[in-house]
Amino acid sequence: MNEYMIGRKEAGIYAIRNLKTDRTYLGITEDIIKTRADERFALDLGIHSSSELQSDYTKTGLELFTIDLVRKKEDGQDLSDLLQKTVKEYLDKGITLYQA
């Protein structure tokens, strides 16, 4: 069963990834299902907080982007710290990030 069917909230770090360039936007979520819908809505309306991501999305369209939970929050973890660690890992791998 997938998370849409069971409706449980999963917190952690999510990524919006451009499949054409591998450029990635990272963010914090308390509920990945809601965040996916909210991010997609903002991108579809052209009002995303990252102007660079919005520009690429507008040019290429939904088909070339994924929105996924890339790191699940464990009990007691601070999401801000988890985001900083994830950003560092992505940069160390040479992945270019979109800025908020």
pLDDT digits (tens, 9 = 90+) for 35-64: 999 999 999 999 999 999 999 999 998 899
pLDDT digits (tens, 9 = 90+) for 61-70: 889 999 999 9
pTM score, whole prediction: 0.89
For 27, the token pair is: 């963010």
Q: Which residues of 65-96 are buried (b: 16+ CB within 10 A; e: fewer)?
A: bebebbbebeeeeebeebbeebeeebeeeebe
Query: How is 17-46 classified by DSSP, letter by letter?
Result: EETTT--EEEEEES-HHHHHHHHHHHHHHT
For 48, the token pair is: 């995303």
**CA atoms of 14 and 69, how far apart (whole Å):** 4
